[in-house]
Amino acid sequence: MVAPTGLQLNLEGESQKLFSFETVDRRVADLEVRARIASANTAIGGWPVVRWWAEISHGETNYRQPAPSFAIIAGSRLQDFTMPARGMVLRLSARTLRLGFYISAPPSGIAATKATIQVSCQPAYGNGQPLMPYQQMGFPIAGARTPLPMDAREMRLTDFAGLPLAPAAVAVIFVGLSGLLLGPVDGASYADWRPIPHDAASMTLGAGCWVAYR
C-alpha cells in the first residue's frame, strides 16, 4: 500500500485531518481500519466528540459516506458520523480510501477544542471480524472500571453460572472517556444482546458478573 498505514492525527477545532492510502497496483484489497480517540482536552465529565467521513473506491466510482444530501432545504446538510468512545473497527474492500476527522460540539456541555486520534489500516483476511476479548469478568473494584473493547458492538451480562442476572442484582454505570456518566441501569436489562452505548468507553458494576461481547 502507498502512504503510511498508521498515523497519529492532532485535531484542533473543526479543521479536518485526512488519513488516506491506495494499493500499489490499484488491486482491490480487503482492509481493516482501526481508530480511537487517544486524548482530548475536555474537563472531567466532558463529552469529546470526533466526527468522521469516508470516501471509498468501488469499481470505477468513489462513494462518500455519509452521502452528500440534495440541496432541497437550505442548511439541511447531513452530519458526519461520530466515533464511538471505545474506538471503532471497519472492515471493507477498496482500492483507495480517504478518511476525514475533526472535532465537533457535543449535544450538551463544552466542546473539546483539541484531540489526538490514532488511525491505522492493514490487509484483512477472512470474512469474520476478530473480537478481543469476547468475554471477561466484571467485578466491582474501588477506583477501577471494566473496559469496553473497540471491536464489540453488542454486549450481555450473566451471573457466574451463565444465567441471566436477577432484577436489581447488578447496577451498571457506563463511563465516557472524560468521565461522562451514563446510567445507572439495571444489569438484568442486558440479559439479551443490546448495543453498547455509543459514548461509553468503560463501565462500573455494582456486583460481580460475566460480560460477553459480539
Return the percentage of the chain with pLDDT > 70, whole number.
92
DSSP 51-74: EEEEEEEETTEEEEESPPPPTTST
Cα–Cα dist 18/28, whole Å = 21
Domain 6-123: assigned CATH number: 2.60.120
- The pLDDT of residue 74 is 62
Measured between alpha carbons, how far apart are the two ends of the chain, in Å? 30
Cα–Cα dist 207/160, whole Å = 11
Grid coordinates of 23 = 494499493
* pLDDT higher than threshold 70 for residue 76: no
The answer to whether the beta carbons of residues 17 and 100 sit under 8 Å apart is: yes
CB contact set of 28 (below 8 Å; sequence gap of 6+) = 93, 94, 95
pLDDT tens-digit series, residues 140-156: 888 788 999 999 999 99
- The pLDDT of residue 23 is 77
pLDDT band of 110, cuts 50, 70, 90: confident
The answer to whether the beta carbons of residues 205 and 172 sit under 8 Å apart is: yes
- The pLDDT of residue 75 is 63
Cα–Cα dist 94/96, whole Å = 6
CB contact set of 90 (below 8 Å; sequence gap of 6+) = 31, 32, 33, 34, 54
